[in-house]
């Protein structure tokens, strides 16, 4: 299923998209979709990393050393 949404972008960005679409024979919509799909995972990773960092700063999470992880997994020599 495909959903529709409206996005406001600066005139300069839209002009660049129109130029790219005209030169390649693809649509502006194609490139908007490609950009979102290409970068969505990165944005998700950044957001989750920022949340984790905040929990670390508040003392709600802790980090583990490599030695601790190896020991806990039974990989220590």
- Find where tokens 């997994």 sit: 73
The verdict on residue 6 lying in a domain is no
Asked if the structure places residue 5 within a domain, the reply is: no
C-alpha–C-alpha distance, residues 77 and 70, integer Å: 9
User: Do the Cβ atoms of 11 and 17 come closer than 8 Å?
Assistant: no
pTM: 0.64
**Residue 43 in domain:** yes
By residue range, what is the domain housing residue 31?
A: 11-72
User: Residue 2: what pLDDT?
Assistant: 87
Q: What is the DSSP letter of 61?
A: S
Residue 19, classed as helix, strand or coil, is helix
Torsion of CA 47, 48, 53, 58, to 10 degrees: 100
Tens-digit pLDDT profile for residues 33-60: 999 999 999 999 999 999 999 999 999 9
Structural contact between residues 21 and 30, judged by C-beta atoms closer than 8 angstroms: yes
The structural domain count of the chain equals 1
């Amino acid at each position: 299923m495909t959903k529709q949404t409206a996005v406001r972008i600066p005139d300069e960005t839209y002009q660049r998209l129109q130029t790219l679409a005209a030169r390649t024979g693809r649509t502006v919509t194609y490139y908007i979709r490609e950009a979102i799909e290409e970068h969505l995972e990165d944005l998700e990773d950044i957001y989750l990393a920022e949340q984790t960092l905040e929990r670390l700063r508040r003392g709600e999470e802790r980090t583990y050393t490599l030695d601790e992880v190896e020991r806990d997994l039974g990989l220590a020599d």
